[in-house]
Amino acid sequence: MIKLIHLLTELLEGSKPSATTEAIRKIFDSEYVKDKYPDALIYRPGSNRIGNRKGISSTQFIDILTNVFEIDATAIDPKKPPDSNSSKFDAFEFETGDGVVNIILAGIGAEESERQERGFIKAVNSVPGPKTLIFRNGTKIDDVLEAEKVGSVPGYKYQAYADIQLTTKDGTIKISAKGTSAPTLGGGGLTGIDTVNIPEMNTFVKQFYEKVYDSYAATIAANPTLKNQNLQGNPDFPDFYEEIPINVLAPLLRGIEAIGGPIDYYYTGDMDVTSEVNGNAITINGNLLTVDEFIKLKGKFYLRMGKRNGACYFTDATNDQTTNIKVPKILAIKPNGKGGTQTRLFVVSKVK
């Protein structure tokens, strides 16, 4: 199938494929990848992106590159390039006999992630009338009438916190659907946390921003040539992580109505949802966890500070886009601190 896609891509391009296209083809044709990382990557014809179905890390992807192309890891330049459509994805630049290769290790993609949601909803709605849902971990929900995708939330510009809503005889249940790795949580980043407005979390976020600001400022003070320079891709200004205090995790991961919550359960399982029907009972091949159970499963959660796409200039300006948390901008899209804020906040369950 991949070889057929290769041929169609060549016909569409009408010219010799680029070094990046050739490199991506070689990755998907590699027996090493097929054996060690089966079904982990998604081929995207006509793009320099590779989908990351199973959430492999940057270190694992470098392992793929070193083995497929027989190069040393030091020959690979991992970065978040200015031309990337999303700064949360890492790009890997290296040279082959065909030229310079630039591959972006993306996520599973909207279509792929929504496949789990659609499969879940289809399974629930496959039985008419009231039904009982049974999950792999033993959770059972009775008198479910229907399932539907949670739409946009009025007044909130980001994706809703919950993905799926169950209508039951006793009311509604909101579910956040996650794959087996759940790489990012807490939609909306700083805006979402600011809207949830947990006082202890607000203080923690403010201190975290100040810590990152102080670190960047100290690096520039030690090397004044960096002042007013674009810091995008500079390894001296890495992403920062800080473990989130346990006492704020439950309200943070539950969310509030204003951002599309509160979440009652987290669904974790394969992206392909399968089910077994026995009368009005539907057994689904995933786990349905309360917020507390989800926290126990993942163990620790972290704030991650990263750079946005585009130019990043250090600034002492204040971020004016929040209501409850006043934090420094740290990075701006212009040297004078003007323009959009170039720092981006994530809630993640692991440190890369």
Residue 14 scores a pLDDT above 50: no
Query: By mean pLDDT, which of 171-185, 226-240, 302-316 is the weakest?
Result: 171-185
Asked if 197 and 205 touch (Cβ cutoff 8 Å), the reply is: no
Residue 146 Cα to chain centre, angstroms: 28
Extract the tokens encoding 314: 């250090």
Residue 48 scores a pLDDT above 60: yes
pLDDT band at 131, cuts 50/70/90? very high
Largest CA distance in the chain: 72
pLDDT band at 13, cuts 50/70/90? very low
Residue 82 scores a pLDDT above 70: no
DSSP character at residue 257: G
Residues 309-331: what's their mean pLDDT?
A: 91
Q: What is the dihedral of CA 215, 220, 221, 222, to 10 degrees?
A: 90
* Domain map (residue ranges) of the chain: 2-105, 110-182+264-297, 185-244+301-348
Residue carrying structure tokens 């040539």: 225
> How far are the Cα atoms of 5, 43, 119, 165, 303 from residue 177, in angstroms, in the given order?
31, 24, 11, 11, 20
Residues 196-214: what's their mean pLDDT?
A: 95
Q: How many residues does the chain have?
A: 352
Residue 184 scores a pLDDT above 60: no
Residues 149-166: what's their mean pLDDT?
A: 86
The alpha helices in 260-334, defined as continuous H runs, are: 291-298
Query: By mean pLDDT, which of 2-6, 132-136, 258-262, 322-326 is the weakest?
Result: 2-6
Residues 284-289: what's their mean pLDDT?
A: 95
What's the whole-model pTM score?
Answer: 0.69
Residues 56-61: what's their mean pLDDT?
A: 84
Which residues have C-beta within 8 Å of that of residue 31, sequence separation ≥ 6? none
Residue 16's pLDDT is what? 61
Asked if 322 and 200 touch (Cβ cutoff 8 Å), the reply is: no
Asked if 109 and 42 touch (Cβ cutoff 8 Å), the reply is: yes
Residue 262 scores a pLDDT above 90: yes
Residue 158's pLDDT is what? 77
CA distance 163 to 179: 12
**Cα atoms in the 13 Å half-sphere on the side-chain side of 75:** 13
pLDDT band at 109, cuts 50/70/90? low
Residue 187's pLDDT is what? 58
**How confident is the prediction for the chain on average, in pLDDT?**
85
Residue 112's pLDDT is what? 54
Query: By mean pLDDT, which of 78-82, 182-186, 336-340, 342-346 is the weakest?
Result: 182-186
Residue 270 scores a pLDDT above 90: no
Residue 110's pLDDT is what? 54
